[in-house]
Structure 1
Amino acid sequence: MTARDIIASSTPPSAASRQGEETPLHRRNILVGFLFGCGIVAFLDEAVFHQLLHWHHFYDRSTGAAGLVSDGLFHAFSWFATVASLFLFADLRRRRAVRTRWWVGGILVGIGTFQLFDGVVHHKVLGLHEIRYGVDLLPYDLVWNGAALAFLLAGLVVLRGALHDHQRNR
């Protein structure tokens, strides 16, 4: 069984016959993956760096209480994004419209985009917090933003491959 057969078997005949709907389905898979990636990486950031390691709060320019409240709001955002993406994923499954490569590419792009936004905008531009205090930040920033770029590029490679395969199989 080839990849083409797998894709064809997972696509309902009504959807497969309407080429105009394929592009929105691919975009929806990417969007659902992107939202899931953002939610998961935000949750991991908050759980590991905020709660377990105590390296910082989401907002460190005020009192400890304000930092805890900001962490709570950040945590709520991460779970809202994750749960919303799972409901959207369930809708894709119900429609038999899950395109795994598009979805995984969206997850990787979401992880990379969120982490890069956090590392550049939150850490450097707005100065809401640093990755860690009392240390030389350069290695931390390089690893944080380097990992973000790696996830982002990996997601773009996956999406490019999915697009190439989609165009070849048309």
Structure 2
Amino acid sequence: MKTHRSLIKIGSFVLGFGFLGALDGIIFHQLLQWHSVYMATDRPGQIVSDGLFHFAVTITLVIGGILLWVAENPIAHKKGIRLLIGWFLIGGGLFNLTEGIINHHILQIHRVKPADPNPLFYDLTFLGLGVVLIVIGYLIKKNTETYQATINT
């Protein structure tokens, strides 16, 4: 039972990380066309960098799905759905923080919306969304773990 709960946590986290990566690629790279993974190249280079990013995100989604499949039905575990949602949101929020801090600020390979007069606003909003997702996920997960602790005592 503990192994299944761990797989739900890890699988949900990985799935959330990959899902927010996919949303980033779909919304910011393709639909809005605000940026690419690596902006300092010509258009074919940008397409290749985005393709590699989408491939990595797809692999992450598949791994998260497999881990959840192996974990079996989250409904079969006490508060399993809350674990799934909490860790999914934490994973998604960590994607935003990791990608935002590394790519936007440390490596400076792109900004969320570089053509805007105030690109820092969009970068900080992106990071803020990551923090909000982590906090909400933590609160959902914490409620589940507090519930489990009271049952086990």
1:159 corresponds to which of 133, 141, 146: 141
The Cα of 1:134 is off from its aligned counterpart by 2.1
Corresponding pairs, count: 149
Once the two structures are superposed, what CA deviation does each residue of 1:81-106 show, in whole Å capped at 9, x if it has no partner? 11221122111126956822112111
The Cα of 1:65 is off from its aligned counterpart by 1.2
Structure 1: 4+ residue segments shifted above 6 A: none
Could you state the TM-score of these two structures normalised by the residue count of structure 2?
0.90
Once the two structures are superposed, what CA deviation does each residue of 1:54-74 show, in whole Å capped at 9, x if it has no partner? 111111122221111010011
C-alpha distance in 1, partners of 2:73/2:146?
26
State the secondary structure of the residue aligned to 1:134: coil
1:55 corresponds to which of 19, 25, 34: 34
Matched, 1:82 2:64: no
Matched, 1:119 2:100: yes
Once the two structures are superposed, what CA deviation does each residue of 1:106-153 show, in whole Å capped at 9, x if it has no partner? 101001000011111111001121111221113212321111100011
Highest Rg: 1 or 2?
1
C-alpha distance in 2, partners of 1:160/1:110?
15
Once the two structures are superposed, what CA deviation does each residue of 1:42-65 show, in whole Å capped at 9, x if it has no partner? 111001110111111111122221
1:133 partner letter = P
Structure 2 unmatched runs, 5+: none
C-alpha distance in 1, partners of 2:56/2:140?
27
Matched, 1:131 2:112: yes
Is the contact between residue 11 and residue 66 of structure 2 (CA under 8 Å) also seen in structure 1?
Answer: no
Structure 1 unmatched runs, 5+: 1-14, 16-21
Could you state the TM-score of these two structures normalised by the residue count of structure 1?
0.81
In structure 2, the partner of 1:140 is 122
Cα 1:161–1:97, aligned 2, differ >3 Å: closer, same or farther?
closer
C-alpha distance in 2, partners of 1:97/1:60?
45
2:138 partner letter = L
In structure 2, the partner of 1:104 is 85
Q: Identity percentage over the alignment?
A: 26
Is the contact between residue 93 and residue 130 of structure 2 (CA under 8 Å) also seen in structure 1?
Answer: yes
